Amino acid sequence: MGNLVVVGADGSSSSLAAAEAAAREARRRRAELRVVYAFSWPVRPMYAPLDPSPFNRLVHDAAQRARSVAPEVEVTEAVVTGDAVSVLEAESRAADLVVVGSRGMGGFIGMLLGSTAVSLAAHSRCPVLVVREEPADAGPIVLGVDGSPGGEKAVDFAFSEAALRGAEIVAVHAWLPDYAPVGTGVESAERLLAQALAGRTERYPDVTVRHEVASGESREVLIEASRTAQLVVVGARGRGGFAGLLLGSVSQAVLHHAHCPVAVVRGRA
């Protein structure tokens, strides 16, 4: 991967908010920003070709929004044939980060999260940042820690992002005392959390980290913590996930219900 941030554009207010967030991410990384609109050709008579100019204008509007936020960032524009998830998954192969809005055009009324965001989080080859329309620039980065091998990359991403933003990390591990093995106390949960974070403080000495072991369901604990956070970082899958499941239930719940942007990081490329 190179210094590249990709943002999906579709003309919705959510995707314009994503363009602004992506511009800020590109500025932090000193990266190029690529604004991408994906469309599928409809079935139409050969004598009635589709005019691509509205799509070009749509991409240009999103790019201009990004430039207004971070004029020093190099911004390129692309209109690509294909469905949004497939196009952005392909783009993710060369990117450091893909940014999308939480909802796109044509979403059902009352739907909390668009299908593109969920599917992309499950399939992207790089971390995916799902942005709400309301900016969240204050508060800590909340990192969900479950101790699974697949969560290692989420921990690395959270520390890197905290260093870029100058933010504190609140590393959260949720446990259910009533379901813990007999004789297992909170010390076991605290030890798991410490082990999952081991070595990062040496690599990121300027990042302040708070350890928090909370009693409760992981999804509920993280959603509540998101109320005062600027970002929640989770792995795509955690412990206990079914083999072959690309996006775990906790990640999906946080994507749908968090009160701030969410970054989903897959454990493997």
The pLDDT value given to residue 171? 97
Strands 32-39 and 75-81: parallel
Please report the pLDDT score of residue 55 as a whole number.
85
Q: What is the mean pLDDT of residues 219-241?
A: 86
Architecture of domain 141-265: 3-Layer(aba) Sandwich (3.40)
Q: Which of these ranges, 54-68, 95-109, 223-237, has the smallest mean pLDDT?
A: 95-109
Work out the average pLDDT over 192-215.
Answer: 94
Confidence of residue 112 (pLDDT cuts 50, 70, 90): very low
Residue ranges per domain, the chain? 4-131, 141-265
For the record, the structure tokens of 217 come out as 């369901």
Entry pTM: 0.88
As a whole number, mean pLDDT of residues 33-45 equals: 78
Domain 4-131: homologous superfamily in CATH: HUPs (3.40.50.620)
pLDDT, the chain, mean: 86
The whole-number average pLDDT for the span 84-96 is 95
